[in-house]
Chain A
Amino acid sequence: MGDWPQGQEFNRQVICSASLESIGPDVVGTGQGMTGLQAWPTANLAIFVPFLVFTPFLAKIIGVDNGATVSGNIDVGIYDGQQNRLVSTGSTAHAGTSTVQTFDITDTLLLPGIYYMAQAMDNTTGITHGPASTVPIGGACGVLQMASAFPLPDPATFAAHAVAFIPILSVYGRTVA
């Protein structure tokens, strides 16, 4: 066998909060399911979902699955494990029903480590993808939240997850979502 590193995990080009790099197994294992579209649980709430980067990953866009109702504004971004905001879109109109809304972020190189993908909305009308999780199962999956966090602040102050919503969104290492 050559010198090629063995046993090193590699990220796929798309990291979804429902994937193996994130909390997919936890969500499925706890019976929370992957489906479900709900209105955002609390205005100006931010929810943070942890994910792992195994090898350097250049984040280019973020995708959110919108439901049948869009409303107000949304902000998405990425935080490091120390609650520092690495990148975010800032307040953006929640637009496009029943489709994936894509957010072009500043290309951001993520080195191996733990990160959080973040979503915040300024209203409780707009619908996005996320199972209606049982509280506190989301917390047991590693999900965190922050009140009064719209637009996404830097740094964040993580608090225990206390809403029945686990956002399903993706960070893409490519420009097509």
Chain B
Amino acid sequence: MDFPSPVSLLPVISSFGRFTSGLISVGSSPTSAGWPAADRALFVPFSLPVQYLVKKLWWVNGATAAGNVECGVYTADGTLLLTSGTTAQSGTNVIQSVTLGTAFLLHPGSFYMALVMSSTSSTVFRSGTNVRMCRLAGLAQQASANPLPATFTLATAAGAYWPLFGIARASVI
């Protein structure tokens, strides 16, 4: 075996994990809550130290499923790289995921993961840490962003809502 071996990342990368600033939300366990505004997209910055083959995009549905969801990944300067496409929210208190038709190889760098929902009746698990902490951790938003736009225009996050979602190289999540 050659040494050292390449760093490998965990099968699932979440908005609360090592490669985001979700650590700042510590102390506020995610719970089910309605999406803060219809068609508002939320953006969470993350980075990757090595290549990551994305097979799935996922989010955690809350107690009520309604409307449509879309999950995606953007470059740091705002270009949409991959998306789940608009997907009917289905299932309550479960992880919902979309398998990409073709796995997408993210190269090391800085990105945003994005989630948008079409209805405030849609619920996902989220941390309700105060909005200022969300802003310090890098959360941003865009209104009228359903479907996710090809390029984003970030605006100041207006609500204390840090959703639990992410990407996965695992085939099962």
Q: Which residues of A contact B (CB under 8 A)?
A: 1, 4-14, 16, 18-20, 24-25, 28, 33-35, 63, 65, 98-100, 129, 168-170, 172-174, 176-177
Contact = CB atoms under 8 A, between A and B. Distances in A.
A93 B70 CA distance: 42
B6 interface: yes
Contacts, number: 107
Contact of A34 (B27, B76, B112): B27
A6 B26 contact: no
Interface stretch (B55-63, B92-100, B103-111, B161-169): B103-111
Contact of B26 (A10, A14, A28): A28
Interface in B1-40: 6-7, 18-21, 23-24, 26-27
B154 interface: yes
A22 to B, nearest CB: 10
Contact of B7 (A4, A6, A25): A6
Which secondary structure dominates where chain A touches chain B?
Answer: loop
Nearest to B141: A176
A14 to B, nearest CB: 3
Given A10-B48, A12-B20, 10 more contacts: A7-B50, A12-B110, A13-B138, A18-B24, A33-B27, A34-B133, A63-B136, A65-B135, A169-B136, A172-B138
B132 A99 contact: yes
Nearest to B25: A34
Contacts of A98: 132
Contacts of B48: 10
B125 interface: no
27 contacts: A4-B107, A4-B108, A7-B6, A8-B49, A9-B47, A10-B108, A10-B110, A12-B45, A12-B138, A14-B21, A16-B136, A16-B138, A19-B137, A24-B23, A25-B23, A34-B24, A35-B133, A65-B132, A99-B132, A100-B135, A129-B132, A129-B133, A129-B136, A168-B133, A172-B138, A176-B140, A176-B154
B46 A28 contact: no
Contacts of A5: 108
B51 interface: yes
B156 A34 contact: no
A6 B18 contact: no
Contacts of A1: 6, 51
